[in-house]
Amino acid sequence: MHSAMLSKTHFNGYDVINVNNGPWRVCTHHDRLASFGTREEAMAFAASLPAHQERTAMRAQESVVEMKAPEAKKTAPKAKSNKSKK
């Protein structure tokens, strides 16, 4: 029976993964960004990317709630002018 060999490093918000001595892959949770022949190349690529922060459903939901229900601004009613009609 054969078992898979997995090497995984988390760097700068990205996963640097190698399975069964194949290519090194730089990934997020949802996307594979690039593949490289060596670990050093993959780590250099992950270091060159901007820091990745995964959006969670809770954060997304909070921003939607803020957009839908802004704080109500109370304003005084406009004064009516007393112009006489001719």
Which residue ranges make up each domain of the chain? 6-65
Residue 33 is given by DSSP the state E
Take residue 71 and report the two structure tokens written for it: 């704080």
Tell me the per-residue pLDDT of 50-69, one tens digit each, with 9 for 90 and over.
Answer: 987 776 766 556 666 666 65
Give the model's pLDDT for residue 3: 81
30: which 2 tokens? 């949802």
Phi, psi of 6 (to 5 degrees): -120, 130
- With a cut of 90, say whether residue 39 has pLDDT above it: yes
The model's pTM is 0.58
What's the token pair of residue 84? Answer: 């006489």
Residue with token string 């490289």: 36
